[in-house]
Amino acid sequence: TQLLEQSPQFLSIQEGENLTVYCNSSSVFSSLQWYRQEPGEGPVLLVTVVTGGEVKKLKRLTFQFGDARKDSSLHITAAQPGDTGLYLCAGESTGTASKLTFGTGTRLQVTL
Amino acid sequence: ETGVTQTPRHLVMGMTNKKSLKCEQHLGHNAMYWYKQSAKKPLELMFVYNFKEQTENNSVPSRFSPECPNSSHLFLHLHTLQPEDSALYLCASSQAASGNYEQYFGPGTRLTVT
């Protein structure tokens, strides 16, 4: 069974602070996706990283795929209250018949 | 309507009731999924359909019965549920059968079993 462990599980910070969320596995993934879920809604795709070592930026969010394609990180610069939500990573493996393995989730709260 | 829609958004049912959740995707995707999301637990995959054929049943109890009449519609029929089945049920779709695994989720149905 493939597992994706995210850390930290919970994070409460003030507006303007920086933070990093980690997504780790012992398995290799073909690609890795990050989603954000706000209360009462479904997860929304933020980014997909495909190549080992790849870095993608989405405004104040920076995503990195590990060289060995087993782990990923999400860094948020100058967090804002609108960043509040549940962050989920999800890995795609070859031969898994159209499904993703979702991480355990990181719940972020950004306060004024 | 755009994206993935789910109805109802909220459902309260007794343990002896029968109800159905509905999902519709307007994205032209070829794969659809049911997930269960409980407090303090990771997102749990329940069922996967590719081109309306079920390709995954993740050891889900038979009191949950999926139905996929076509590539755009997915149902989850519920009967004799237990209180521990209370959760957010999410539907998603993707083009996974064509190699694109990015999933698009509906807003979910918040189910409470009393």
* Residue B103 with chain A: CB contacts under 8 Å: 33, 43, 45, 90, 100
3-state secondary structure A24-44: ECCCCCCEEEEEEECCCCCCE
- Identify the residue with better confidence: A100 or B86: B86
CB-based contact B96:B30 (threshold 8 Å)? yes
What pLDDT sits at residue A95?
63
Contacts of B63 (CB under 8 A, 6+ apart): B78, B79, B80, B81, B82, B85
pLDDT at A94: 67
Query: B51: number of CA atoms within 13 Å, CB side?
Result: 3
pLDDT confidence of residue B56: 84
Angstroms from B93 CA to nearest CA on chain A: 10
CB contact under 8 A, A98 and B31: yes
Instruction: Provide the token pair at A11.
Output: 């994070």
Give the pLDDT score at A40.
Answer: 85
Q: Are the Cβ atoms of A105 and B43 closer than 8 angstroms?
A: yes
CA torsion A32→A23→A99→B35, rounded to 10°? -130
* Chain B residues lying within 8 Å of A42, measured CB to CB: 4, 90, 92, 105-108
Q: Is the pLDDT of residue A1 over 70?
A: no
Q: What is the pLDDT of residue A98?
A: 64
What mean pLDDT do residues A53-71 have? 96
* pLDDT score for B51: 86
The confidence score (pLDDT) of residue B21 equals 98
Q: Which residues contact B96 (CB under 8 A, 6 or more apart)?
A: A98, A99, B30, B31, B50
Give CA–CA dist A65/B47, Å, rounded.
28
Look-up: residue for tokens 């979702």?
Answer: A102
Q: Smallest Cβ distance to B108: which of A42, A90, A105?
A: A42
- To test the contact with chain A by mutation, choose from B35, B45, B103 the residue with the greatest count of A C-beta atoms within 10 A, namely B103
| Inter-residue contact B113 to A46 (CB < 8 Å) | no
Residue from the list B55, B90, B110 with its beta carbon closest to the beta carbon of A98: B55
Task: B44-47: list long-range contacts, CB under 8 Å, 24+ apart.
Answer: B45/A99, B45/A102, B46/B76, B47/B76
pLDDT at residue B83, rounded to an integer: 94
User: Which among B65, B61, B99, B76 has a CA at the least distance from the CA of B24?
Assistant: B76
Contacts of A102 in chain B (CB under 8 A): 42-43, 45
Structure tokens at B73: 């519609």
Considering only CB atoms, B107 lies closest to which of A35, A42, A103, namely A42
Q: At B33, is the secondary structure helix, strand, or coil? A: strand
Q: Which residue of B has its CA nearest to A95?
A: B99
Contact between B106 and B94 (Cβ < 8 Å): no
Copy the structure tokens of residue A33. Answer: 């996706």
- Name the closest residue on chain B to residue A39, using Cα atoms: B107
- Minimum mean pLDDT among A82-91, A100-109, B40-49, B60-69: which range? B40-49
pLDDT at B1: 61
Residue B85 phi, psi (nearest 5) = -80, -5
Mean pLDDT estimate for chain A: 93
pLDDT of res. B40 = 74
Q: What is the pLDDT along chain B (114 residues), one digit of tens a residue?
A: 679 999 999 999 999 889 999 999 999 999 999 999 998 788 999 999 988 888 888 889 999 999 999 999 999 999 999 999 999 999 999 998 788 889 999 999 999 999
Q: Best mutation site among B50, B102, B109 for testing chain A: the one with the most A CBs within 10 Å? A: B102
Tell me the per-residue pLDDT of A6-34, one tens digit each, with 9 for 90 and over: 999 999 999 999 999 999 999 999 999 99
Residues of A in contact with B56 (CB under 8 A): 97-99
